Amino acid sequence: MSLYLEIPEFEDELLFRTFINDGMTIVYPHWHKEIEIIYSKRGTVNIGVGDDIVCVSEGEIYFFASGEPHYFLASPDSERIVYQFDLQLFDEKLLRQSQDKSLAELFENGAKHSSEWPEALTRKVKELLLELYEELESDNLGKKFAIYAYLFQLVTQFYRQLPETKLTVKKGGRASTIRYKETLERLDKIFSYVEMYYLESISLEEVAREVGFSPYYFTRFFKNNTGQTFMSFLNEYRIIQAKFILANEKIPMIEVAEKSGFSSVKTFHHVFKESVGISPLKYQKSMSEIGK
């Protein structure tokens, strides 16, 4: 099975989401730049991590660092809560002290399975995760402030109590890990470029030049590591922007197209309908009905 890149679709600019999967929801090998935390709410969740299968028993927690490949096997009679958040949520330049590790290092070097944590850390993290899930599902006043507060508490607990991982790098694994991190860094550079310039006309040649590749090599590199072409990814990113605008703003379609990076309303309409299955106008109306 080949890896594919998952791009979590956050509902808004919060860059955090949580959802429940039952044990029969199989997830194929993938990776993403976001941190992912798994809480086994019921039964045992079987997770593929590298060459190993990790069994996360009921009440236990497991997390994946940015860019760490993983997948889920069928786990009958189980239920898991999944949490995903982008490290951009935290302003490290402002908040990190000289003695603090970077957030990326904190999650990369920390013990991933709560079975290796102090009891106090497991208890506190479980409490925060359940409060996070309840808060996101609620309509409470100050909801986003509360979510930020819980996420900051979570990171603080990891900084202060998370032990270093006991796992040793397998023979030949280090070179593979280094290559993987180099790939992740290049992809992150591509994603950042798209985030900055998606409103403009972006050509494959321009992005290839940005990461120091020829267009031919860039095309192969991107497809091999994300499972899709660069133009498909760019269109998908713009569609996500358009869906957010359509759900939250009442503006003419020509403005929606412009604000999501499409060169014309005709192109926008065609790409949106092909991707979502309905026209932008119908999508906007369906979102209005939900809000009533």
Q: Which CATH architecture has domain 4-161?
A: Sandwich (2.60)
β-strand partners of 227 = none
Q: Could you state, in order of their start, the residue ranges of all structural domains in the chain?
A: 4-161, 233-290
Q: What is the per-residue pLDDT for 226? A: 76
Identify the residue whose tokens are 């940015």: 66
Average pLDDT (252-265) is: 94
pLDDT in tens, 11-21: 777 899 999 99
pLDDT in tens, 201-230: 999 999 999 999 999 999 998 888 777 899
Q: What is the per-residue pLDDT for 189? A: 85
CATH superfamily of 233-290: Homeodomain-like (1.10.10.60)
Strands, E assignment, the chain: 4-5, 16-22, 27-31, 35-42, 45-49, 52-56, 61-64, 70-72, 79-85
Q: What is the per-residue pLDDT for 74? A: 79
Assess whether pLDDT exceeds 70 at residue 175: no
Strands, E assignment, 68-112: 70-72, 79-85
Tokens of 108: 């990369």
Average pLDDT (85-90) is: 92
The band of 169, judged by pLDDT with boundaries at 50, 70 and 90, is very low
Average pLDDT (87-97) is: 91
- pLDDT exceeding 70 applies to what percent of the chain? 91
The band of 140, judged by pLDDT with boundaries at 50, 70 and 90, is very high
Report yes or no: 70 and 96 within 8 Å, Cβ to Cβ: no
Mean per-residue pLDDT over the chain, rounded = 87
Assess whether pLDDT exceeds 80 at residue 108: yes
Assess whether pLDDT exceeds 90 at residue 106: yes
Q: What is the per-residue pLDDT for 18? A: 94
Q: What is the per-residue pLDDT for 4? A: 64
- Terminal C-alpha separation, the chain: 44
pLDDT in tens, 32-65: 889 999 999 999 999 988 667 899 999 999 999 9
The band of 171, judged by pLDDT with boundaries at 50, 70 and 90, is very low
* 27-31, 102-106, 193-197: range with highest mean pLDDT: 102-106
- Structure pTM? 0.67
